[in-house]
A and B are shown apart, each in its own frame.
Chain A
Amino acid sequence: MKNAPSPAHWLRWFDPRYRQPGTWGYILNRITAIGLTIYLVLHLGVLSTLAKGPGAYDSFITLVKSPGFMLGELLVVAGGIIHGTNGIRIVLNSFGVGVRDQKVILAILMALSIIGIAYFAYVMFLVD
Chain B
Amino acid sequence: MKNKPVPEKWTVTFIVSRQKGQGKRHFEQFNLEVDPEEYVLDGIERIWAFHDRSLTFRHACHHSTCGACGMLVNGVEKLTCITPIRSVTKDSGTLRVEPLRNFPVVSDLAVDMASFYLNLEKAQFSQVAPIQNASLPFEDQSMEGDLERLVDCIECGMCVSACPAAHTSSGYLGPGALAAFQHSLNQKNDPRLYDLVDCHDGPWRCHNAFECSAVCPSNVDPAWRIMNLRRKIVSHRLRRLFKRREAAKP
Contacts and interface: CB of A to CB of B under 8 A. Distances in A.
Interface of A: 1-10, 12-13, 17-20, 22-23, 25-26, 29, 89-90, 93-96, 99-100, 102-103
B247 to A, nearest CB: 28
Interface in B12-70: 25
B167 A13 contact: yes
A93 B227 contact: yes
A5 B167 CA distance: 5
Contacts, number: 88
Nearest to B172: A5
B101 interface: yes
Contacts of B105: 2-3
Interface string B166-177: 111110100000
Q: Closest 8 CB pairs between A and B?
A: A22-B210, A18-B75, A26-B209, A4-B104, A22-B209, A5-B170, A12-B167, A9-B167
B25 A99 contact: no
Given A99-B223, A99-B224, A2 B25 contact: yes
Given A26-B208, A100-B138, 5 more contacts: A3-B104, A18-B75, A22-B211, A23-B211, A94-B208
27 contacts: A3-B99, A3-B102, A3-B105, A4-B104, A4-B170, A5-B167, A5-B170, A7-B169, A10-B168, A13-B168, A17-B75, A18-B76, A19-B209, A22-B208, A22-B211, A22-B223, A23-B164, A23-B211, A25-B209, A29-B207, A90-B208, A94-B208, A96-B227, A99-B223, A99-B227, A100-B224, A102-B223
Q: For chain B, which range describes its interface: under 10, 10 to 19, 20 to 34, or 35 or more residues?
A: 20 to 34
Contacts of A3: 99, 101-105, 111
Contacts of B102: 3-5
Interface string B205-245: 00111110010000000011001101100000000000000
Contacts of B141: none
A4 B208 CA distance: 21
A57 to B, nearest CB: 40
A20 B207 contact: no
Contacts of A99: 223-224, 227
Nearest to B210: A22
Contact of B209 (A9, A23, A94): A23
Contacts of B172: 5
B99 A13 contact: no
Contact of B168 (A2, A6, A20): A6
B74 interface: yes
A10 B105 CA distance: 19
Contacts of B230: 94-96
A94 B229 CA distance: 9
B186 to A, nearest CB: 14
B66 to A, nearest CB: 21
A21 to B, nearest CB: 8
Nearest to A29: B207
Contacts of A8: 168
B170 A10 contact: no
A19 B207 CA distance: 14
A20 B167 CA distance: 16
B104 A26 contact: no
A90 B207 contact: yes
A74 to B, nearest CB: 26
B210 A6 contact: no
